[in-house]
Amino acid sequence: MGGWFPENISSFGAAIDDVFFLIYYIVGFWFVLTTAVILYLGVRYRRRAGHPAAYVRGDRWRELSWILIPAAIILVLDLAIDAAGARVWESVKIHLPPGDVHLIVTGKQFEWLVTYPGADGTLETADDFVANNELHVPVGRDIRVTLRSQDVVHSFFLPNVRLKQDALPGRSIDVWFNVNKPGEYELACAELCGFGHYTMRAKLIAHSPDEYAQWVRDHEPHRTAEAPSA
């Protein structure tokens, strides 16, 4: 089962996968048990001559407890699942760290425009530059991304980071992540945004911090003169 997940390269990816597996084992147990009961009852109580049905209405507590007690157990397990998930949700979506690197990612039909702060490290200054469909980040640093859209609702989906957030026009929405393995991965759009929705693919390229700094230097405005438009 775990093998079907995309490779996890994210500092919070394992936490999300852990909640998934917690749910998987709990519901898996209940599913197997309940299905076994259904199949067993279907076989055990199939119609046979000389075996009339029992007149059981299930309106007494003694009888109802057979379904209410399992339901109560399920309620408790559900709340435990919620508690586990709440902690992870908070750390991913509510308590955003300030970020070592701050980028703006703008979705538009049908590409991702990534705005880098340039060598001065500050966004919305003259040395900002935009790369189309290439999200370069340093490994081991908190990356803070401000998501925007120029037109319709897109969704910023990094499968290997276990991160997804819709990008809305008229809004700026911040997310964060921290990549712990260098390499080339993918960014996909996860919200139907038009006929080219399936082409909204970008690369996520994680460099070592030194390589990243070099890459930024190589791509500054005096080489490629694109100023950002928000």
Partner 1 sequence: MSQVAVVTHHAHEETSFWRKYVFSVDHKVIGRQYLTLGLCMALLGGATVYVIRWQLAWPETPIPLTSWVPEPAMYDGQLDPSFYNQLVTMHGTIMVFFVAMPILLGGLGNFLLPLMIGADDMALPRLNMMSFWTFFTASAVLLSSFFVSGGPAAAGWTGYPPLSANPEYTGVHGGMNLWILALALEFASFLMGGVNFLTTAINMRAPGLSFFRLPLMVWMQLTAGVLFLLSVGPIIGGAVMLLLDRTIGSGFFLPERGGDPLLWQHLFWFFGHPEVYVVLLPGVGAVLEILPVFARKPIFGYRTIVYSTIIAGVLSFVVWAHHMFVAGIDPRLAMPFSITTILISVPFAIMTFAMIATLWGGSIEFRTPMLFTFGFLITFLIGGVTGIFNGSAAVDIFIHGTYFVVAHFHYTLFPTVFFAGFAGIYYWYPKMFGRMMNEALGKLHFWLTFVAFNLVFLPMFVLGIGGHMRRIYNPLQYDFLKPLAPVNQFITMAAVALLLSQIPFILNFIGSLWFGEKAADNPWRANTLEWSTSSPPPHGNFATVPTVYRGPYEYSRPGAAQDFLPQTQPLPTGAAAAGA
Site for partner 1 in 82-141 (CB under 8 A): 82, 84-86, 88-89, 92-94, 109
Residues 6 or more apart whose Cβ sits within 8 Å of residue 103: 114, 115, 116, 117, 123, 135, 137, 143, 144, 145, 146
- Report the side by side order of strands in the sheet with 173-178: 129-132, 111-116, 101-108, 142-149, 173-178
Q: Say if residues 181 and 139 touch (Cβ distance below 8 Å).
A: yes
Nearer to partner 1 (CB atom), residue 137 or residue 216: 137
Nearer to partner 1 (CB atom), residue 79 or residue 213: 79
Segment interacting with partner 1, rule: CB under 8 A, options 3-11, 115-123, 135-143, 220-228: 3-11
User: Measured between alpha carbons, how far is 156 from 10 in angstroms, rounded to an integer?
Assistant: 15
Binding of residue 4 to partner 1 (CB under 8 A): yes
Helix, strand or coil, per DSSP, at residue 168: coil
Nearer to partner 1 (CB atom), residue 158 or residue 216: 158
Selected binder of partner 1 within 136, 162, 207, 219 (CB under 8 A): 162
User: Measured between alpha carbons, how far is 149 from 151 in angstroms, rounded to an integer?
Assistant: 6
Window 25-64: residues binding partner 1 (CB under 8 A):
26-28, 30-31, 34-35, 37-38, 41-42, 45-48, 51-59, 63-64
Other CB atoms within a 10 A radius of the CB of residue 12 amount to 17
Binding mask 200-219 vs partner 1 (x if CB under 8 A, - otherwise)? -x------------------
Helix, strand or coil, per DSSP, at residue 125: coil
Nearer to partner 1 (CB atom), residue 35 or residue 224: 35
Binding of residue 230 to partner 1 (CB under 8 A): no
CB of 143 to partner 1, least distance (A): 16
CB of 73 to partner 1, least distance (A): 10
Beta strands in 86-222, from DSSP E residues, in sequence order: 101-108, 111-116, 129-132, 134-138, 142-149, 154-158, 163-167, 173-178, 183-189, 201-207
Binding of residue 225 to partner 1 (CB under 8 A): no
Nearer to partner 1 (CB atom), residue 67 or residue 213: 67
Binding of residue 196 to partner 1 (CB under 8 A): yes
Binding of residue 192 to partner 1 (CB under 8 A): yes
Nearer to partner 1 (CB atom), residue 53 or residue 225: 53
Other CB atoms within a 10 A radius of the CB of residue 179 amount to 25
User: Measured between alpha carbons, how far is 126 from 129 in angstroms, rounded to an integer?
Assistant: 8
